[in-house]
Every structure is written in structure tokens, then in C-alpha cells.
Amino acid sequence: MAVLTKPSLEQVSLPTPPHRPRSYFSGLPVVDLSVTDSDALLVNACEEFGFFKVTNHGVPKELIARLEEEAIKFFSLSQMEKERYGPANPFGYGSRTIGGNGDVGWLEYLLLEINSESISHSSLDFLKEPRARSFCSALNEYVESMRKLASEVLELMAKGLRIEPRNIFSKVVMDEESDSVLRLNHYPPCPLLQGLNGSMTGLGEHTDPQLISVLRSNNTSGLEISLRDGTWVSVLPDAESFFINVGDSLQVLTNGRFRSVKHRVAANGYESRVSMVYFGGPPSGERLAPLPLLLGEGEQSMYREFTWCEYKRCAYKSRLSDNRLQQFEM
Ligand code: GA4
């Protein structure tokens, strides 16, 4: 793995690559949050793709840039130094291995636990050090704005589904006890791919366990989503917008009406990809089952009730690409 030695932004934005993916998916729904009736488009996107892009989200550009810069500074430390804060179990610094069951990818990352609205310092000892002060403040401000954005989007989903109360989904992730996570990923350029037409996995295919994921990446391609018919398509990167994923928990609450989207990241031969993902999850003891409000007349519940804690126990025994909801199906 290429190691960033100097903590500078330039190091992760290499010259324009001579090759980009052949084509990007053109059918991706774009939800403009400044438009009042965006809820219908948003519901449609959750049903059809489980994935969409949001614009006019109100998250300050400067905050995004600050956190990205801090993340890059961390990833620019020497490999030996970074390894002191790992291996991620599940929180902390991780490199090449994902989860504990044999998944690997061309990336390094920080997995940070969010405790009562801010980043838990015990999830990464580095954050306890004086030199991490600006990193901590960027992380906490970022998490606060991600909670707000996730909550706004979840309320729009309830509005679009015409269910009350409007905070029926958002209250789950806004709860002080909610089990949410922040993930900072760095996919270094993969020299093995240079000049070749091959591909390599950055992060293997999977669905996200939580209700909602809010993803921001720099302008490097790599993200791919699986469409309903199983075709994989590349997502055009857009550093100005956020991408929203429906997760397994929201698929359950909506009795499968919303799709938990399968996605993956391909490694790039020339450019570094840096992404920051907020995963909005329920409190540990939260019971998850299809909302009776959303069951049509005579419609059967697709899932039995289970707690988030129960789901997580199974999830940490699974491989990335496993269908983690299968065991809860009726
Ligand atoms: C996928 C979504 C998030 O990145 C994550 C991942 C977690 C991890 O990296 O530790 C998991 C994966 C994710 C699902 C199954 C288990 C757990 C790796 C893995 C094999 C942080 C999460 O919440 O679930």
C-alpha cells in the first residue's frame, strides 16, 4: 500500500488519471433539499435504488474540507505510527482487513463510535492526544451536521410515505443512545492497476446495516451500486453533494418497500479516494420490525421482530457480502 509520508492535500490528489471508468450511471436520482416537494422523488429513489444524491444540503463546505484535511493528515502518518491505533476491533485504525471474518480490500480507514452525539475518544486513542485537538473539533462538528442532515432526509421519507409522526424514522437516529458510526476511508492509488485494464476491490460488495448512510467523497471515482436487475453501475463522484444509502434497518421498517442498496468500491490506479461516511443506527435495545402503519391491507410482514443488538451480534459473525437480513425473514 502506498504510504502518504507528508501531511498535505496535494499528496492525495494526483494528476488527472489517463483513464476513467467507461461510463457513469446517468439515471441516479438527485434530490434538491431546497425544493419543498422533493419527498415524492425521494421515496421513489428509495424504492427503486435505495440510493440517491442530495444537493443544497446546507453543510458548510469549509467544515467538509476541514475534516477531509484532518483525515488526510492522519493517513499521512507513517504506517508504523498508524498501526499503534489498530487493528480496528471494530473501532480504531484498520488497513486492508475489514471486519473479523476474512474480508480484505485496498484501503485503510478509521472507524469511530459516536456516543451521545459526539465521537467517542475511546474508539481511537489518537484522539486523546493534544495534537488531535483540531481533528476532534472537526469530527464533532461534522457529526452534528450529519445527524441533522440524516434526520432531515428521514423526515422527508416519512412525509413522502404519508406517515405520522414525521419523526418516526428520524427519532431513532436522533436518540441520545443511538448506535451511530463515522467511517473515514482512504483508498490509495493501486500501482498494480496502472496501465492495465483490470480491477481490484477497494471495499467489497455489501449492504449497510443501519437505517441510513450519508456519504461524502472527494472527486475520485470508485463507488458502484447494484441495480434491481443485479447490474453494477459506477456513480459519478461529486464532492459538493452527499450520497444517501438506505440501510438494512430501514428496509425492515418499511417491510421491504425501501431497498437496502448493495454497493462496493473499486480501487483506482492513479488517484486517492477519500470518503467520509456517517451511519445512522438505532439504539442498542431498539426493536426493529415492519411498521404496522406501512402494511397494506392483508400485507404480510416480511420480517420477524428483532433488536438492533441481536442484528449486530449476527453481523459481526458475517462476511461483508452476506445477506444479513435473511435470518430475520418470516
Ligand atoms: C458495513 C457498513 C459499515 O462500514 C460498518 C461495517 C462493519 C465494519 O467494517 O466493521 C462490518 C460491515 C459494515 C457489515 C458486516 C460486518 C461489520 C464489517 C463486517 C464484515 C462499519 C458497519 O456498521 O457494518
Question: What string of DSSP letters covers 34-98?
Answer: TSTTTHHHHHHHHHHTSEEEEES----HHHHHHHHHHHHHHHTS-HHHHHTT-S-SSSEEEEEEE
Out of 208, 243, 246, 308, give the residue to mutate to test ligand 1, the one with the largest number of ligand atoms within 8 Å of its CB.
208
State how far the Cα of 26 lies from the Cα of 79, in Å rounded to an integer: 39
Q: Is 329 helix (H, G, I), strand (E, B) or coil?
A: strand
d(CA 159, CA 209): 23
Looking at ligand 1, which residue's alpha carbon is closest to its atom 1? 208
Label residue 13 left, alpha or beta by phi (over 0 means left) and psi (-120 to 50 means alpha): beta
The Cα angle at residue 319 between residues 314 and 323, in degrees rounded to 5: 70
The residue nearest atom 2 of ligand 1, judged by CA position, is 208
Residue nearest to atom 8 of ligand 1 (CA): 99
CA–CA distance, 135 with 155 (Å, rounded to integer):
30
pTM: 0.94
Buried b (16+ CB within 10 A) or exposed e, 250-275: bbbbbbbbbbbbbbbbbbbbbbbbbb
Q: What is the pLDDT of residues 298-320, one digit of tens each?
A: 999 999 999 999 999 999 999 99
Cα 37 to ligand 1 centre (Å): 34
Say if CB 203 and CB 267 are below 8 A apart. no
Selected catalytic residue, list 22, 273, 313, 324:
273
- pLDDT for 110: 98
CATH fold of the domain at 30-328: Jelly Rolls (2.60.120)
Contact 7, 72 (CB under 8 A): yes
CA 101 / ligand 1 centre spacing (Å): 11
The confidence score (pLDDT) of residue 6 equals: 40
Per-residue pLDDT tens over the stretch 106-121: 999 999 999 988 999 9
Can you tell me the distance from the alpha carbon of 162 to that of 166, in angstroms, rounded to the nearest whole number? Answer: 8
Best residue for ligand 1 mutational test, from 108, 112, 183, 201 (most atoms within 8 Å of Cβ): 183
Nearest CA-CA partner of 33 in 202, 157, 190: 157
For ligand 1, atom 10, name the residue with the nearest CA: 99
Q: Specify the pLDDT at position 13.
A: 44
- 278's CB contacts (< 8 A; 6+ apart) are 142, 143, 146, 147, 150, 180, 181, 182, 213, 214, 215
Residue 54's beta-bridge partner residues? Answer: 31, 242
Closest atom of ligand 1 to 100 CA is 20
Residues of the chain predicted below pLDDT 70: 1-22
pLDDT at residue 2, rounded to an integer? 40
Placement of cell 439515471 in the chain: 27
98 CA to centre of ligand 1 in angstroms: 7
Q: Which residue from 209, 288, 208 is spatially nearest to 252, judged by alpha carbons?
A: 288
Which residue of 261, 318, 322, 326 sits with most ligand 1 atoms within 8 Å of its CB, as the best mutation to test the pocket?
A: 318
Cβ atoms within 10 Å, residue 63 = 14
Ligand 1 atom at minimal distance to the Cα of residue 277: 4
Beta pairing partners, 148: none
Q: How far is CA 201 from CA 11, 33, 88, 315, in A?
A: 22, 33, 19, 21
Q: Is 273 a catalytic residue?
A: yes
Q: How far, in Å, is the centroid of ligand 1 from the Cα of 104?
A: 12
Predicted local confidence at residue 20, as pLDDT? 57
Q: What pLDDT is attached to residue 21?
A: 62
CA distance 261 to 245: 6
- How many angstroms is it from 87 CA to the middle of ligand 1? 14
Ligand 1 neighbours (beta carbon < 6 A): 90, 98-99, 101, 103, 111, 181, 183, 206, 208-209, 279, 315-316, 318-320
Q: Specify whether the CB–CB gap between 32 and 38 falls below 8 A.
A: yes
In the reported structure, the alpha carbon of residue 195 is separated from the centroid of ligand 1 by a whole-number distance in angstroms of 32
